[in-house]
């Protein structure tokens, strides 16, 4: 087993976490190379990512090109996609060595040269005002929204910004795309779930659009943007201790009754 070990230098205390994990890998005689998130390379056949969900998303997009699976070790906040904390690293190494894990293929979206594992968020270039968005699917007009923005999300991203904006939770194995308006100025705008093969185009009538990718990269302002299914799939490593529904309960408190 050869491991790409990725760290994010912008995460507080990353050096301490990196040292603990490197020492653990050495103690198990695991061959690995360490890379800064901004200087990732291909070395191993599996990738450990130290950071939060944003760090994992970026690494997963990069390693998807070569079908290298990615496992998250959380030192961020929620860590919804992460499988363990730094203190559990020895158990993670043993599980990976023993094959006690599974790899899930997750669909991604593409807009021009950009790839998103979670979502594309489309807003007007003037953040202080709402915009009018025109939605087309497969070249045909669907509807228009006066809203703060539109979220076009994968099932993986349905538990991120789309969920906060009132969108549905999709099981990650579904081949579907979610379109969620952000703060629409109407009572009848609802999220829309469409097949993953649909080509989605968003235009505006009064200004240019900004597009963010997985919450981090922002493109230059454009007149319209189109989103479709990406050809590559991200490969995420999950230990066999949890399933999707238990993660929803434990990390998002989904379906948990309020205490008296």
DSSP class of residue 222?
B
Which of 111, 122, 118 shows the shortest CA–CA distance to 147? 122
Cβ atoms 169, 161 nearer than 8 A:
no
SS3 211: strand
Q: Which of 119, 124, 139 is nearest to 199 (CA)?
A: 139
105 assigned to active site: no
Mind giving me the DSSP string for 132-193?
EEEEEETTEEEEEEEESEEEEE-TGGGGTHHHHTTPPP--TT--EEEEEEES-SSSS---EE
CA distances from 225 to 63, 111, 135, 207, 220 (A): 25, 7, 10, 13, 11
Alpha helix locations (H) across the chain?
Answer: 14-27, 53-64, 89-97, 161-164, 244-252
CA 193 and chain centroid, separation: 18
- Catalytic residue from among 53, 119, 148, 214: 53
> How far, in Å, are 124, 143, 222 from residue 207 at the CA level?
7, 18, 9
Residues carrying an active site annotation: 53
């Amino acid at each position: 087993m050869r491991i790409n070990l990725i760290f994010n230098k912008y995460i507080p205390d990353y050096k301490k976490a990196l040292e603990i994990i490197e020492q653990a890998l050495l103690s198990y005689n695991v061959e690995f190379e360490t890379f800064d998130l901004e200087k990732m390379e291909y070395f191993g056949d599996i990738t450990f990512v130290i950071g939060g969900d944003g760090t994992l998303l970026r690494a997963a997009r990069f390693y998807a090109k070569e079908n290298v699976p990615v496992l998250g070790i959380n030192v961020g906040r929620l860590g919804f996609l992460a499988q363990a904390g730094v203190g559990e690293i020895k158990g993670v190494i043993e599980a990976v060595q023993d094959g006690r894990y599974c790899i899930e293929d997750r669909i991604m979206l593409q807009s021009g040269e950009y790839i998103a594992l979670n979502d594309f968020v489309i807003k007007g270039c003037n953040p202080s005002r709402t915009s009018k968005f025109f939605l087309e699917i497969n070249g045909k007009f669907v509807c228009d929204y006066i809203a703060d923005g539109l979220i076009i999300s994968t099932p993986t991203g349905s538990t991120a910004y789309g969920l906060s904006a009132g969108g549905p939770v999709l099981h990650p194995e579904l081949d579907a795309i979610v379109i969620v308006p952000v703060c629409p100025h109407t009572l009848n705008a609802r999220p829309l779930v469409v097949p993953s093969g649909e080509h989605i185009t968003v235009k505006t009538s009064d200004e240019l659009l900004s597009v963010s990718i997985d919450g981090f990269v922002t493109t230059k302002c454009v007149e319209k943007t189109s989103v479709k299914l990406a050809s590559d799939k991200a490969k995420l490593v999950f230990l066999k201790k949890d399933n999707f529904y238990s993660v929803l309960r434990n990390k998002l408190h989904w379906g948990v009754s309020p205490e008296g």
